[in-house]
Chain A
């Protein structure tokens, strides 16, 4: 199946700094990418949907100025957590969908962010 990678797999940063997480589709072109957040023992919550070349659509309650999403190419989307705080510590997961298979989202392995 299609492969999606995330980098880094884990990151620790100081409060107030910004962190960038990359999501890449390795063997297909992803017209749409999704970013999720998962707290311990809770479900994945969709944060935003991005289409290549256009602005991301954020879910209600997600601060677009804090979680900057860029989908500049068909194989790369980035999530930047700006001015991170301890409450932003979480597991961030991306998924990507190509042009075929409407419901088929391919998921990355996730990035564990810890803000000290």
Chain B
């Protein structure tokens, strides 16, 4: 079946540190991959996406590359800020459907 596995949190970093949140997936068909972010008290927001192998999604300094050979879509940012503190969800959809399958979320805490 289709599933997403992401690293457990919380991830605790100092400001300006490098961030990696791992995400791997299992999918039948040809998935599209997403990262969503949820700030405290708000709904999930689409952060970035990639729809085919080797695509790189990027937004707000975050990047993730669709790696078909390793079935991964790791989220990275070179220098995190306190304002990046949030919960990050990796997700996929398959075969051009609207159905999103989410990972469990990873809480990121950035301290000044």
Binding site for B on A (CB under 8 A): 1, 4, 32, 34, 41-46, 49, 93, 95, 97, 102-110
Assess whether A43 is in contact with B43, with CB atoms less than 8 Å apart.
no
Size of chain B's interface in residues, with CB distance under 8 A?
A: 23
Assess whether B43 is in contact with A42, with CB atoms less than 8 Å apart.
no
Q: Which of A32, A43, A49 contacts B102 (CB 8 A)?
A: A43
Question: Is B24 engaged at the interface, CB distance under 8 Å to the other chain?
Answer: no
Q: Which of B45, B93, B96 contacts A1 (CB 8 A)?
A: B45
Q: How many A-B residue pairs have CB under 8 A?
A: 52
Residue of B45, B46, B49 with most chain A CB atoms under a 10 A cut-off: B46
Assess whether A107 is in contact with B44, with CB atoms less than 8 Å apart.
yes
Question: Is B61 engaged at the interface, CB distance under 8 Å to the other chain?
Answer: no
* With A32-B98, A97-B98: A107-B93 Cβ-Cβ less than 8 Å: no
> Of all chain A residues, which has the CB nearest B44?
A107
Complex-state Cα separation, A99 to B102, whole angstroms: 23
> Of all chain A residues, which has the CB nearest B34?
A103
Residue of B32, B36, B44, B104 with most chain A CB atoms under a 10 A cut-off: B44
CB distance from A96 to the nearest CB of B (A): 10
CB distance from A9 to the nearest CB of B (A): 9
Q: Which residues of B contact A108 (CB under 8 A)?
A: 43
CB distance from A109 to the nearest CB of B (A): 5
* With A34-B98, A43-B4: A110-B43 Cβ-Cβ less than 8 Å: yes
Q: Which residues of A contact B44 (CB under 8 A)?
A: 44, 93, 95, 107
Q: Which residues of A contact B38 (CB under 8 A)?
A: 107
Question: Is B89 engaged at the interface, CB distance under 8 Å to the other chain?
Answer: yes
